[in-house]
Amino acid sequence: MLTTCPSRGGARRRLLALCLASVLSLWPLASPAHPHGWVDVSVRVLMDEHGRVEALQQRWRLDPFYSQLVLEELRAASGEAPMEARLDQLGVEIRHNLSPQHYFTHVTHDGEAVALGEVDDFTTLARDGRVVLMFRLPLAEPLPLEQAAMHYRIYDPTYYLEVLHEAEGETPRPDALRVTGADCTTRIMAADPDPARVAEAARLDRTEQAPEGLGRFFAETGEVRCDSL
């Protein structure tokens, strides 16, 4: 899960105490196994003037039911703040919770982990009945891709949330992974978890803590290759 929030008691009605984990705690008890929530993600890889990767612009769309819980919780919060301000405050909470985990994002280049910077632009809004998070996650240093491809995976380590690229049916949409500022090729590779991992996730109900790292076995992999630069 993302984090642990203060005790729900009176905090449920106070906007400042609201965070994504408190909404997770409202998920139906009937949910039999991990995951319990779903996120549709799209990624735009931003390149600098030298053709190096400088940031991953991400958009997360929470699933419709999960979004409904979030919006109902925001509407029920005390005070007269407009919904836009409540969403902004929710974004502050989510950013605070995700920052230590680098926004569930893991980047590698030629088999080596790539250091990430801190998000410098974070927006939370409601669109078409879904809560949408948008943020720019910079790399610690610009990354040239002439010699090897860059890969990334976005996943909740406990697999409480499943993060998948925007898709039409079972096929990722063309705009789920794009590159801005260079002529590169991209692809999204589906996860292929061992049947034992699938069974392990299926045995976990919402009250159980998954082993740290379970989510990586179910994560899609995005690839960006710019060999022609």
Q: Where are the alpha helices (DSSP H) in the chain?
A: 20-24, 64-76, 83-98, 195-203
How deeply is 100 buried, as exposed, middle or buried, from its count of CB atoms within 10 A (0-12, 13-18, 19+)?
Answer: exposed
Question: What gap in Å lies between CA 103 and CA 3, rounded to an integer?
Answer: 12
Rounded to whole angstroms, the maximal C-alpha distance in the chain is 58
Helix (H, G, I), strand (E, B) or coil at 203: helix
Q: Check residue 26 and give its pLDDT.
A: 41
Residue recorded with tokens 């590159």: 179
For the chain, the average pLDDT equals 82
In angstroms, the CA 96 to CA 101 distance is 10
Contact 37/24 with Cβ under 8 angstroms? yes
Under-70 pLDDT residues of the chain:
1-34, 197-198, 200-212, 228-229
Q: What per-residue confidence (pLDDT) applies to 145?
A: 94
Please report the pLDDT score of residue 86 as a whole number: 94
Specify the pairing of strand 185-189 against strand 221-225: antiparallel
Residue with tokens 């899960």, as numbered in its chain: 1
Q: Where are the domains of the chain?
A: 10-225
Q: What is the pTM of this model?
A: 0.82
At 218 the pLDDT is 84
- Quote the pLDDT of residue 37: 86
Q: How many Cα atoms sit within 13 Å of 56 on the Cβ side?
A: 32
Predicted local distance difference test score (pLDDT) of residue 34 = 59
